Chains A and B, each alone.
Chain A
Amino acid sequence: MQATSGSQGLVSLQRAVELIDDGRALAIAGDESLLKQLPRGNWIGGTIPYFMDQRGGTVTRDKLYINDLSGIGSRIDIRSYSTHNLPALVNEAPDNGFSLIILPGGSEILSSYAKNAPDYEDIFLKPIIGWVSGHHLDDAGSVTPKVINGLDGEPWDNRAVAMHVRLPETKMAQLDIVNLFQQGEGHTFRFADSGFSAGDCLIDGATGNFADYLRQQEIDTRLPLVADYSGAMVNVSIKGSDSERGMVEFYAPVFSGVDYKLAAPVVDYIDEFMAVTPDAGGSWVFSCNCILNYLYMDLEGKRTANITGPFTFGEIAYQLLNQTLVYLTVEDQ
């Protein structure tokens, strides 16, 4: 790949080092062993070895996926956040521009962001896009997902990193999603408490248990719960169901007071994706897709239009999403 401003793609470790040494502002995704070898510089990174490349879905520990944001912004700031100062993310985001955030999978700070970000002051006024770092599925239990602030090079599994990109007044950032899942025709679920797990709930207004429901109805748990946010379909993916405990675990929190339905099945992911995805023209700056789409839709070796980027353990489009492609464009005002 010949990296230019706004370019993206898989590169070798050596090429990534050259770009960093050249002073480029980069968002980098890759295996932890490679990220640790990168020099200090204007970059943020997160661990993940799954990618959608121009040739199709792939898994590699030998290359890094970069988004070169140099030249897009009039000013770029890199910040790290702990759970305590995470709400400041929105305050520090530029009024005209966007923020790219990476959060470590399975961490307390991810949990905090997932549960609280929708209520942050002005969260929906400024485009905040990003992803949740992860690891090779073979490494589950032996490593933790990390993020790295390139300014100091330290890997963290309990902090978030963000790149705030201020745009010139002539430019405008737009954040959107591609979600192939729609609410199915079935029952409506409402949960009493917000959280990453739930048991008892209301099913069409009657008391029930979600784990029991999944078992009795023999639900395919690859289908997420879908909530309709004024026309935006927001997924909550099911991590696992324990019918003995009567509890279901999720990859993102369900929120109390929100009506959920199980998704209608997606017949052909590639065909439907191609049909609804806008052309990835020159205005595309960043995109990422969900690792569950990679796994459940069997995307290894298959292309999804010209959309490339990491497959992640969660996607951020203002708030945490699941099984969704998120993308950001920068266009003339």
Chain B
Amino acid sequence: MFDLVFCERILGIEAPWCITRAKQDINRQRVDIWIGERERNRWFKPIPGGRAAAGEEQVWQHLGMGGFRTYIHTAISEQSADHDCPWIGRKGLPFTRALTQRILELLGERTAYGVVCGLLNVDLEDVWRLKHSLDGGTVQKPEPAPRAPDIRDTATITTPEPESDIPIAEDPVWHRVISNESEINIRQLGLKLLISRVRSQYVNADSDEVRNMRRRELRKYFVRHQRSLQHELGQLKPFSRARQQMEQM
């Protein structure tokens, strides 16, 4: 049996919300918790029997408890909950706000997807769904990462990495290529498909951070395939900031 008061405390569930029902599955190492609105006459009696919220029930995976996966079921809308409510999630996404934040923090530190799944006991497919939504601009990152240098801010740009002919991620050449300001002829199929995807995500991105991610993604392709991309790299050079700075010296 659950101690629902304790459960509400560790999950951060506060009035007017309460746990209306809970179920544990030892074999599947899983806990399911239903959250609804507290009955008025039971305001200070957090016992099962609170009123289920009206509307369509959503299910999100929440931060685990004692090695058990925890799933939140509720019809409470994200708009109805406080802006810092940890156990609510966005419709159509797999995780609560709290778990989403942990995942994005780890991914932001470039933790491998497999490691993220292992650390947080989440499925790769669900992480991918979250990432996909993030790329599409439907999810706000909880904590903005340090701002990357503005691509128009020449003061912060130095020279390309000495070991590489590939412009650094902050070089404006990546913005120009992605936004089609500098059209280049591409021979490799993978690069054609990648640039198309990056362009659509770049246009739809609602933050500089997402656009920075897209620039880094494109640069990563050039780093990985440098030896077979001389045709494309040769076209980048005239547009790179480092090249322009050298010419001005």
For chain A, the count of residues having a C-beta within 8 Å of the partner chain is: 33
Interface membership of A7, Cβ < 8 A: no
| Chain A hits for B135, CB < 8 A | 119
**Are A172's CB and B228's CB within 8 A?**
yes
| Chain B hits for A232, CB < 8 A | 189, 192-193, 196
Residue of B nearest to A228 (CB): B196
Q: Which B183-220 residues have a C-beta within 8 angstroms of A?
A: 185-186, 188-197, 199-200, 204, 220
| Contact A127 B197, CB 8 Å, known A85-B125, A91-B114, A120-B128 | no
Interface-central residue, B123, B124, B186, by most chain A CB under 10 Å: B124
| Contact A116 B132, CB 8 Å, known A84-B123, A121-B113, A172-B227 | yes
**Are B124's CB and A88's CB within 8 A?**
yes
In the bound complex, how far is the Cα of B202 from the Cα of A257, in angstroms? 13
Interface of A is mostly: loop
Interface membership of A118, Cβ < 8 A: yes
| Chain A hits for B186, CB < 8 A | 230-231
Q: Which A106-161 residues have a C-beta within 8 angstroms of B?
A: 116, 118-122, 124-125, 127
Choice from B113, B197, B199 contacting A124 with Cβ under 8 Å: B197
**Are B197's CB and A118's CB within 8 A?**
yes
Choice from A118, A119, A121, A317 contacting B189 with Cβ under 8 Å: A317
| Contact A85 B189, CB 8 Å, known A121-B113, A124-B221 | no
**Are B124's CB and A119's CB within 8 A?**
no
In the bound complex, how far is the Cα of B195 from the Cα of A172, in angstroms? 21
In the bound complex, how far is the Cα of B197 from the Cα of A319, in angstroms? 12
Kindly provide the distance from the CB of B93 to the nearest chain A CB, expressed in whole angstroms: 15
In the bound complex, how far is the Cα of B112 from the Cα of A88, in angstroms? 11
Residue of B nearest to A86 (CB): B125
Kindly provide the distance from the CB of B213 to the nearest chain A CB, expressed in whole angstroms: 11
| Chain A hits for B194, CB < 8 A | 124-125
**Are A333's CB and B227's CB within 8 A?**
yes
| Chain B hits for A120, CB < 8 A | 128
| Contact A87 B128, CB 8 Å, known A118-B197, A172-B227, A229-B196 | yes
In the bound complex, how far is the Cα of B144 from the Cα of A145, in angstroms? 47
| Chain B hits for A27, CB < 8 A | none
Residue of B nearest to A233 (CB): B192
In the bound complex, how far is the Cα of B128 from the Cα of A305, in angstroms? 41
Residue of B nearest to A87 (CB): B128
| Chain B hits for A84, CB < 8 A | 123-125
**Are B228's CB and A119's CB within 8 A?**
no
20 contacts between A and B (CB under 8 A): A85-B125, A88-B124, A91-B113, A91-B114, A116-B128, A124-B191, A124-B197, A125-B190, A125-B194, A125-B220, A125-B221, A175-B190, A229-B193, A230-B192, A230-B196, A230-B199, A232-B193, A232-B196, A317-B189, A319-B193
Binding site for B on A (CB under 8 A): 83-88, 91, 95, 116, 118-122, 124-125, 127, 172, 174-177, 229-232, 234, 257-258, 317-319, 333
- 5 additional A-B pairs beyond A95-B224, A176-B189, A318-B189, beta carbons within 8 Å, are A87-B124, A88-B114, A91-B114, A118-B193, A232-B193
